């Protein structure tokens, strides 16, 4: 082929069509027509509905991961909130339980304090209110420590009572506290009176693992004492005021081989677990002093010497 006949223009890379300006004008006119037609005649409404119906499954599938992530986050948030609410509710419940227990404790203390006030009025003696702090450290003794001492006028030997009866006796006094030996201590004894028969006796402490009690020792086998008899203070010792309830007889054992009866009594006072007590002034402190002996006159001295001489004569 001759070289002059060849087309030296490069072929177009893309197929040529209408110009861009003409395309812009055509598409603008179509868009304007569609907008006017949709505004006037609603021609695009069915098309829009068909497209929305056709695209709904695609939209649903696309939104599922987003909804799953949101629901998972909401679940964990709700779970954390529920756990926090449960913890707060448990704390409030525990606080309410503590308050309820404190209310019960306060009611019990108020009741016992009222009974103590009634006991003070019934006794009529000088009394000082005290609170039991703790039990003594000695495991072989039955003692408690109260919050009253020498600075409050407490003296050794003072009887200690609660709202039910005699509890013990002050044995050691310190400036701010005092030590009280309970009736059930093995070294403690108290003169008692049988309220039914009027017979006097002495009750001794008898601590035991099965239950602390009192024992009436050296009681004859034919003594008139029965189970259920009330024992009160006799007042002959000059320490305890007379008439205070001490114990009640719970066991009477009469043995044929022994001339004495074994009598076990239960103390009426709360010797274990008492909170508030009254410390009474010893009866001996309120008694008038004993009269002094009269000076011997010469005639009485002469008679005394004569009687001594006669007794010494053979």
Residues 64 and 133 occupy one common structural domain? no
Residues 135 and 281 occupy one common structural domain? yes
Determine the Cα–Cα distance for residues 79 and 17; give it in Å rounded to an integer: 64
- Closest of 236, 226, 241 to residue 202, by C-alpha: 236
Residues 244 and 257 occupy one common structural domain? yes
Return the pLDDT at 180.
93
Return the pLDDT at 44.
74
Residues 199 and 163 occupy one common structural domain? yes
Question: Within the chain, where are the H helices?
Answer: 20-41, 45-123, 283-286, 298-312
Residues 210 and 88 occupy one common structural domain? no
Please state whether beta strands 230-233 and 245-254 pair in parallel, antiparallel, or not at all (unpaired).
Answer: antiparallel
The boundaries of the domain holding residue 118 are 26-123
Low-confidence spans in the chain with pLDDT less than 70 = 1-17, 98-125, 209-210, 284-314
Residues 85 and 155 occupy one common structural domain? no
Return the pLDDT at 236.
86
Would you say 171 and 143 are in contact if contact means Cβ atoms under 8 Å apart? yes
> Which CATH number fits the domain that encloses residue 216?
2.40.10.340
Would you say 205 and 168 are in contact if contact means Cβ atoms under 8 Å apart? no
Residues 268 and 164 occupy one common structural domain? yes
- Count of domains forming the chain: 2
Residues 151 and 271 occupy one common structural domain? yes
Residues 80 and 149 occupy one common structural domain? no
Would you say 228 and 170 are in contact if contact means Cβ atoms under 8 Å apart? no
Query: SS3 letters for 148-204?
Result: CCHHHCCCCCCEEECCCCEEEEEEEECCCCEEEEECCCCCCEEEEEECCCCCEEEEE
Instruction: Show Cβ contacts of residue 226 under 8 Å, excluding neighbours closer than 6 positions.
Output: 196, 249, 252
Determine the Cα–Cα distance for residues 262 and 252; give it in Å rounded to an integer: 6
- Closest of 169, 111, 173, 167 to residue 147, by C-alpha: 173
Taking only the tens place, the pLDDT of each residue in 76-128 is 888 888 888 888 888 877 777 766 666 666 666 666 666 666 666 656 567 88
Residues 119 and 136 occupy one common structural domain? no
Instruction: Show Cβ contacts of residue 248 under 8 Å, excluding neighbours closer than 6 positions.
Output: 228, 229, 230, 231, 265, 266, 268
Return the pLDDT at 4.
57
Determine the Cα–Cα distance for residues 102 and 249; give it in Å rounded to an integer: 35
- Closest of 162, 159, 166 to residue 244, by C-alpha: 166
Determine the Cα–Cα distance for residues 170 and 269; give it in Å rounded to an integer: 15
């Amino acid at each position: 082929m001759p070289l002059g006949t060849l087309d030296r223009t490069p072929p177009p890379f893309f197929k040529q069509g209408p110009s861009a300006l003409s395309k812009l004008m055509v598409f603008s006119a179509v868009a304007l027509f569609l907008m006017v037609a949709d505004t006037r005649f609603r021609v695009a409404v069915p098309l829009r509905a068909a497209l929305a119906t056709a695209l709904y499954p695609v939209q649903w599938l696309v939104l599922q991961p987003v909804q799953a992530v949101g629901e998972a986050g909401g679940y964990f948030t709700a779970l954390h909130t529920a756990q926090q609410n449960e913890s707060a509710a448990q704390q409030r419940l525990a606080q309410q339980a503590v308050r309820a227990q404190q209310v019960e404790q306060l009611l019990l203390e108020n009741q016992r304090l009222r009974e103590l006030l009634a006991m003070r009025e019934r006794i009529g003696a000088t009394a000082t209110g005290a609170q039991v702090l703790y039990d003594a450290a000695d495991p072989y003794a039955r003692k408690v420590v109260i919050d009253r001492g020498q600075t409050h006028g407490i003296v050794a030997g003072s009887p200690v009572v609660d709202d039910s009866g005699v509890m013990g006796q002050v044995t050691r006094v310190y400036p701010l506290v005092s030590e009280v030996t309970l009736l059930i201590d093995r070294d403690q004894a108290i003169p008692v009176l049988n309220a039914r028969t009027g017979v006097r006796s002495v009750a001794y402490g008898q601590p035991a693992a099965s239950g602390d009690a009192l024992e009436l020792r050296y009681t004859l086998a034919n003594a008139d004492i029965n189970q259920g008899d009330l024992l009160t203070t006799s007042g002959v010792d000059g320490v305890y005021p007379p008439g205070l309830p001490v114990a009640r007889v719970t066991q009477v054992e009469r043995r044929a081989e022994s001339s004495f009866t074994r009598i076990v009594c239960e103390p009426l006072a709360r010797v274990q677990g008492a909170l508030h007590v009254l410390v009474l002034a010893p009866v001996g402190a309120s008694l008038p002093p004993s009269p002094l002996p009269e000076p011997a006159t010469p005639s009485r001295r002469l008679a005394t010497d004569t009687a001594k001489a006669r007794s010494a004569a053979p």
